[in-house]
Structure 1
């Protein structure tokens, strides 16, 4: 019986379903390392998070290791991510691009909320390990991936 249970759990899908209240906004608090999913009637879920390897300050340039701050949208999904599942954030916006350009730099991009890397690092064991993304556990990204839709706003606070 134990072998059968282990086999069946290996067949479980990373794609979950969600039929609860609509997520209307995400709020992320960098200093508190907290992601909040809001619905029309209040908070639906909260998650501890990891950030970029340079967690203080707004992302300005490619390779700076910072996580952006400001208002963005969830704009894409990657079911084949190297980080279990991932949900894209619309960084850089026009202001981010314009600032980087004045400095002769690239603003970077490819900022995602994602799970752990497939190589087995638990993102909560190594708190700020990404290149600017927002990390959660694989179980948490599965839940978030099911709950949110492209176009949902995300506000990222220092």
Structure 2
């Protein structure tokens, strides 16, 4: 559990209807999240793929460390759409997204201009829609967290537990740098 947030309204528990997360609560939270993130928040995220860990920083100090799942093919930088690799490099959180499949998502600014140029030289699509997201709907209650966190299962995203994502939702503002190495 993340502990740097105090006094924030707790998001509702994830609800699944017809195998999708409901989005009504999320849309409300999206509007409220910016108000709450004015207080205590993190200002940098570092994902170390080899360790399968995410380090959350505030003012240069690690506030928390979280286990993560990565793309199914985790070694190396993302080269093209469908390669199941998690990109490497310096990015930023470009927006927050209510996800019917993965609870809540923080969008990562991939592909960068250099990723697009590299892919174009090779005649491939660089891919996109890379996010830091929660769990699939079958694990909405978190009972399968130990299973999902023991594997790399995404298509190139970084996945955390829904309980971690609930806290990140309020602690991370758009523009926060995320370094993946």
Gap runs ≥5 in structure 2: 1-10, 15-28
Contact kept in structure 2, 1:22 and 1:40, CA below 8 Å: no
Would you say 1:125 and 2:125 are equivalent positions? no
Would you say 1:82 and 2:101 are equivalent positions? yes
Q: CA RMSD in A?
A: 2.0
Aligned position for 2:126: 107
Q: 1:46 aligns with which of 46, 54, 65?
A: 65
Aligned position for 2:168: 144
Greater alpha carbon shift after TM alignment, 111-120 vs 16-25:
16-25
Secondary structure (helix, strand or coil) at the match of 2:138 reads coil
Distance 1:123 1:51, change over 3 A: farther
The answer to which structure has the higher helix fraction is 2
Output one character per residue of 1:107-153: Cα deviation in whole Å (capped at 9) or x when no partner: 00000011111133835413211000001111011111110000001
Distance 1:42 1:108, change over 3 A: same
Contact kept in structure 2, 1:75 and 1:150, CA below 8 Å: yes
Greater alpha carbon shift after TM alignment, 32-41 vs 84-93:
32-41
Q: 2:83 aligns with which of 57, 64, 86?
A: 64
Greater alpha carbon shift after TM alignment, 12-21 vs 145-154:
12-21
* TM-score, normalization by structure 1: 0.85
Count of residue pairs brought into register by the alignment: 147
Greater alpha carbon shift after TM alignment, 53-62 vs 37-46:
37-46
